[in-house]
Chains A and B, each alone.
Chain A
Amino acid sequence: MAKKVFRKLIQIGRVVFINNGRYKGRLAAIVDIIDGSRGLIDGPCTRVPRQALRFADMYLTNYVLKINRGQREKLLRQAWNEAEITKQFAKSRWSQNLKKGKLRDQMTDYCKYKVGRAKQSRNKIVRNLFNQMKKSSLKTQRKALLKKRLATKKPKQKVAAEKK
């Protein structure tokens, strides 16, 4: 079988992240596909009313709900809760990055300076530790090399002496 090129597909039940418009930043599920560029979405648990949305205005997530085409809100909600989509998404790296971005936007100039300084000091510690480890490992390597050389040299000298 051929290798899968697309991991996420636009399909009925696919949970999407709305990236544009009034409901930007919320999750919803694709309930129906209207045409090549639009789909019917619904997010009863995220307070997104059923509506047509362009596929360009949404990102696809990894989650797919087991629902039928044009599934009613009640069963959709049930499926959503069973799959624990909101919980799963909150745990994901994606949502954590979003939160981080929001935090970064709120940071003031002085805050940014403090973060920069903290980063500096952290990097300093890491660098120092790394250098120490590097040094010590080099030392051991050098010692080992020396030992090897000595071990290989001695017999040579002996041989030479014997020859003489």
Chain B
Amino acid sequence: MFGSLRSFQGEEDIMEQATIKEPAKAATEEPAKAATMEPAKADTKEPAKADAKAPAKAAAKKPAKAGARKPSKAQKRKHILKRYFKKKIPSKVVKKFNKVAKIMEEKKSVKAGRIRYGSKKLKPNAYYVKPIAGKTEGTQLVPVKKSPAYYAAQLKEKKRPKRVKISKRPVRSSLTPGTVCIVLAGLHKGKRVVFLKGLPGGLCLITGPHKVNSCPMRRVNQIYLIATSLKIDISWFGIPKHVNDRYFRRVKAPRPRKKEGDIFEKKKEAYFPSDQRKKDQAVVDGNVISAIRRRPDKKMVFGYLGTMFALRKGMYPHRLKF
């Protein structure tokens, strides 16, 4: 590999020489032509002088430029080191690098420190120098990191984390426990009620309280609630744990058997709250009401909860501030 590189560089050198020579040739030819064109007055000395100057200049320029372009090898090494290690360079690394670099320079590879090996770019400290085993002379470059002995034929599949079901759906940030809301749909639409908590199923638990505006504990979709800026502090009491989504589930009436009378005769039974519900209602309402009683403007709040919300003349819901 190095051999081929060297040969390539040699070619470049030849090319360079050729380019340098060309202007010199041109310089010699041009004055000669000029002399032939104007033979009358032109002195024979002038073209000779120009001849002598042009190559001299070219000669003078070339080494000077080369000197400016090509710093000493040690300087180069330093420069390369600086590029790779921006912080302080450990002395061990410097030594190792210098060793490698020297060898590379001797072998006349591409610039030291930037050995191109296929498409990989090798850093100088990726290799270290070692005497060739079984020989008294010569050294060899050995990679610091050994290449792996085994390559997997197929890539391992990454294990993906199992999908976790969202246990609790989020409720709008304006709906916090104790917020007074306006119900927009259903049997109790227009009523101002107290938001108790968001249930895991995504519905909101509210209460009138029932004593104030005859709205019992209920589940409402949050899209049918408008949160007002009034908030009642209900943080000091807890809502019974058994009041959850299952608690509010509808009870299915047992299907009538085929033989038993006419299907159409059976009337729909009216909903009647169970004793358990009444009990829970009383407990929660008592707490909410006592929470309101703690406020200095309790009379107003009770009145507010007791009256219905309605849009009047000149009230535009998009402009209102709740």
State yes or no: do A and B come from one complex: yes
Which label, helix, strand, loop or mixed, suits the secondary structure of the A interface?
helix
Least CB distance, A71 to chain B, in whole angstroms:
40
List the B residue with the shortest CB-CB distance to A118: B300
Task: Please report A residues at the B interface, Cβ cutoff 8 Å.
Answer: 105-110, 113-114, 117
Q: Are A117 and B180 in contact (CB under 8 A)?
A: no
Known: A109-B228, A110-B230. 13 other contacts (CB 8 A): A105-B319, A105-B321, A108-B228, A108-B321, A109-B182, A109-B309, A109-B320, A110-B228, A110-B300, A110-B304, A113-B300, A114-B300, A114-B304
- Cα–Cα distance between A67 and B311 once the two chains are bound (Å): 49
Please indicate the chain B residues that have their CB under 8 angstroms from the CB of A117 in the complex: 300, 303
Residue of A106, A107, A114 most packed against chain B (CB within 10 A): A114
> In the complex, how many residues of chain B place their beta carbon closer than 8 angstroms to a beta carbon of chain A?
15
Q: Are B228 and A107 in contact (CB under 8 A)?
A: no
Q: Are A109 and B319 in contact (CB under 8 A)?
A: no
Least CB distance, A6 to chain B, in whole angstroms:
30
Least CB distance, B55 to chain A, in whole angstroms:
73
A to B contact number (C-beta, < 8 Å): 32
Task: Please report B residues at the A interface, Cβ cutoff 8 Å.
Answer: 180, 182, 228-230, 297, 300, 303-304, 307, 309, 319-322
- Cα–Cα distance between A117 and B319 once the two chains are bound (Å): 22
- Cα–Cα distance between A36 and B65 once the two chains are bound (Å): 78
Q: Are B322 and A108 in contact (CB under 8 A)?
A: yes
Please indicate the chain B residues that have their CB under 8 angstroms from the CB of A107 in the complex: 321
Q: Are B319 and A108 in contact (CB under 8 A)?
A: no
- Cα–Cα distance between A113 and B228 once the two chains are bound (Å): 12
List the A residue with the shortest CB-CB distance to B322: A109
Residue of A106, A107, A113, A114 most packed against chain B (CB within 10 A): A113
Least CB distance, B71 to chain A, in whole angstroms:
62
Least CB distance, A36 to chain B, in whole angstroms:
34
- Cα–Cα distance between A114 and B301 once the two chains are bound (Å): 9
- Cα–Cα distance between A107 and B321 once the two chains are bound (Å): 7
Please indicate the chain B residues that have their CB under 8 angstroms from the CB of A109 in the complex: 182, 228-230, 309, 320-322
List the A residue with the shortest CB-CB distance to B321: A108
- Cα–Cα distance between A113 and B309 once the two chains are bound (Å): 10
Q: Are A113 and B307 in contact (CB under 8 A)?
A: yes
Least CB distance, B2 to chain A, in whole angstroms:
74
Please indicate the chain A residues that have their CB under 8 angstroms from the CB of B230 in the complex: 108-110
Question: Could you pull out 30 A-B pairs where Cβ atoms are within 8 angstroms?
Answer: A105-B319, A105-B321, A106-B321, A107-B321, A108-B228, A108-B229, A108-B230, A108-B321, A108-B322, A109-B182, A109-B228, A109-B229, A109-B230, A109-B309, A109-B320, A109-B321, A109-B322, A110-B228, A110-B229, A110-B230, A110-B300, A110-B304, A113-B303, A113-B304, A113-B307, A114-B297, A114-B300, A114-B304, A117-B300, A117-B303
Please indicate the chain A residues that have their CB under 8 angstroms from the CB of B322 in the complex: 108-109
Please indicate the chain A residues that have their CB under 8 angstroms from the CB of B303 in the complex: 113, 117
Least CB distance, A105 to chain B, in whole angstroms:
7
Residue of A108, A109, A117 most packed against chain B (CB within 10 A): A109
Please indicate the chain B residues that have their CB under 8 angstroms from the CB of A106 in the complex: 321
Our pick among A105, A110, A114 for the contact of B180 (Cβ within 8 Å) is A110
